[in-house]
Structure 1
Amino acid sequence: MAFDLQEQEQIDSMKAFWHQYGKWLAALFAALVLAYLGYKGWGMYQKDQVRDAAQSYAELEKKIIAGDLDGVRKATASIETTYGKTPYGARAALLAARLGFDRNDTAFARAQLSWAAEHASEPGIKAVALLRLAGLELDQKNFPAALAALAREHDAAFDAEFLDMKGDVQLAKGDKPAARDAYKSAVAKLPGDSPSRQFIQTKLEALGG
């Protein structure tokens, strides 16, 4: 097929362009394809991780119900190692900590609560872990550790609970003015019809505040 002069010039121009940039365009296309496949593959991997984590978490719950502390130790360690980046990692640590506390294994409970507070991807779970850790330290009369846990960054939605716990710690260590201040700050964070507000207000009244 014959081409006129203008068409031939366009063809020659395209050939020259492809000769100069063709390899780069092909490489770019290949990189985009690989990136897309990698993205899809990563999505499938994450989906599989969450599914497998859920199954392991269900097995952990059975061990919790059975009171199998040794089994819980192993199952929790496995979940934290293999699925620690999924939401099930921190949740498993919270469950395990509760059984450890009930069995008077405070070292195990403390370790699990600390792990959950450090690795939780959900702000609410992190806050609960810190509150329980502070409560454990309070029970052990380890007041500096309890206050340190309460001083850590947390979801603002839990401010009242943190301040209430802080008041309990300060009261237990004998610092009534600090306890009163913490309770007052906690009350200020809660709506007037909150049952928690009324309960904390009772603590304040007992302190003469």
Structure 2
Amino acid sequence: MAYDLQEQEQIDSMKAFWQQWGKLIGGAVLAISVAYLGYKGYGYYQAAQASKAAVVFADVEQAAQTQDVAKLKSAAALLQSDYAATAYAADAALLAAKVAFEKNDLATAQTQLSWVVQNVKDEAMVAVAHLRLATIQLDQKHYDAAIAELGQAHPSAFDALFLDLKGDVHAAKGDKAAARDAYKAALAKLVGESPNRQFIQTKLDALGG
């Protein structure tokens, strides 16, 4: 097929363009394709991991219902080792800690809660773990350790809970002045008619002065 001069110039220009940039463009397209496939593949992997973790978590829930601490520890350990990136691992640790505490297995409760503090990125879950660790330390009369736990960083939404428990620790320690200050600070953090307001106020009134 014969081309006129203008068409031939356009063809020559396109050839020159692809000779100069073709490899670069081809490489970029390949890189984008690989990245996209990698992203999709990771998404499928995450979904598969979550599905497998859900099966293990069902064992955790069943063990919690029967108060089987040994089975809870085993299932929670599996989630923490093989599916640590899933929310199920954190949920299992908190649930295992709760049951262990109720069964007076404080060592197991502390181990599970410490795992949450050290491995979970969700700030709310970590705050809950700090509160429960402080409760265990209060129960063991490790007052300074409990106060240190309650001094850890946490979302502002948890301020009242942290201050309330700090008041409990000071009260148990016999430091009424510090307990009053903590309860007053907790009340100041509560918004509106919080159901905790009357409870904290009762504890503050009981201190007298």
Query: How would you bin the TM-score normalised by the shorter chain?
Result: over 0.9
In structure 2, C-alpha distance between the alignment counterparts of 1:104 and 1:207, rounded to whole Å: 29
Single out whichever of 79-88 and 98-107 deviates more from structure 2: 98-107
Displacement of 1:181: 0.5
Residue 143 of structure 1: how far off its partner (Å): 1.2
Task: Measure how far apart 1:184 and its partner are.
Answer: 0.2
Aligned to 1:67: 67
Contact 1:93/1:116, CA 8 A, preserved across alignment: yes
Q: Which residue of 2 aligns with 1:152?
A: 152
User: Which amino acid in the other structure matches residue 194 of structure 2?
Assistant: S
Is the contact made by 1:116 and 1:126 (CA closer than 8 Å) also made in structure 2? yes
**Alignment of 1:127 onto 2:127:** yes
Give SS of 1:104's match.
coil
Looking at structure 2, the residues matched to 26 and 108 of structure 1 have their Cα atoms a distance apart, in angstroms, of: 56
The code of the aligned residue for 1:2 comes to: A
Match of 1:182 in 2: 182
Q: Give the letter for the 1:64 counterpart.
A: A
Q: Structure 1 unaligned runs (5+)?
A: none
Q: For 1:79, give the aligned amino acid.
A: L
Residue in 2 aligned with 1:172?
172
- The answer to whether the Cα contact below 8 Å between 1:114 and 1:129 also exists between their aligned partners in 2 is yes
Write the letter of the residue equivalent to 1:42.
Y
Structure 1 residues 121-150: Cα deviation after superposition (integer angstroms, max 9, x where no partner) = 433322221111110010001112211211
Does residue 47 of the first structure (1) align with residue 27 of the second (2)?
no
Q: Does the CA contact (< 8 Å) of 1:159 and 1:186 recur in 2?
A: yes
CA offset digits 1:39-74 (Å, max 9, x no partner): 111111111122221221111111222232222111
Q: How many residues align structurally?
A: 209
Give CA deviations for 1:6-28 in whole Å, capped at 9, x if unaligned: 11111111111111111111111
CA distance in 2, matches of 1:100, 1:195: 28
Paired AA for residue 21 in structure 1? W
1:9 alignment partner in structure 2: 9
- Structure 2: which 5+ runs fail to align? none
| Secondary structure in 2 matching 1:132 | helix
- Conservation of the 8 A alpha-carbon contact between 1:91 and 1:116: no
Matches of 1:102 and 1:129, distance apart in 2:
15
> Which residue number in structure 1 is paired with residue 58 of structure 2?
58
Letter in 1 for 2:146: A
Distance 1:141 1:148 in 2: 13
For 1:33 and 1:153, how far apart are their aligned partners in 2?
A: 42
Which whole-Å CA distance do the structure 1 matches of 2:96 and 2:26 have between them?
53
TM-score with structure 2 setting the length = 0.94
Once the two structures are aligned, what percentage of the paired residues are identical? Answer: 56
User: Contact (CA 8 Å) 1:117, 1:130: kept in 2 or not?
Assistant: yes
- Work out the CA distance in 2 between the residues paired with 1:19 and 1:56: 56
Distance across 2 between alignment mates of 1:22 and 1:170: 73
- When residues 21 and 69 of structure 1 are mapped into structure 2, their CA distance, relative to the original with a 3 A threshold, is same
Structure 1 residue ranges, 4+ long, deviating more than 6 angstroms after superposition: none
Give matches, 1:36-115, under 5 Å. 36-115=36-115
**How many angstroms apart in 1 are the aligned matches of 2:123 and 2:166?**
19
Distance in 1, Cα, partners of 2:19 & 2:192: 76
Paired with 1:146 and 1:88, the residues of 2 have a C-alpha distance of 27
Name the TM-score, length of structure 1 as normaliser: 0.94
Q: Does the 8 Å contact 1:87/1:121 carry over to 2?
A: no
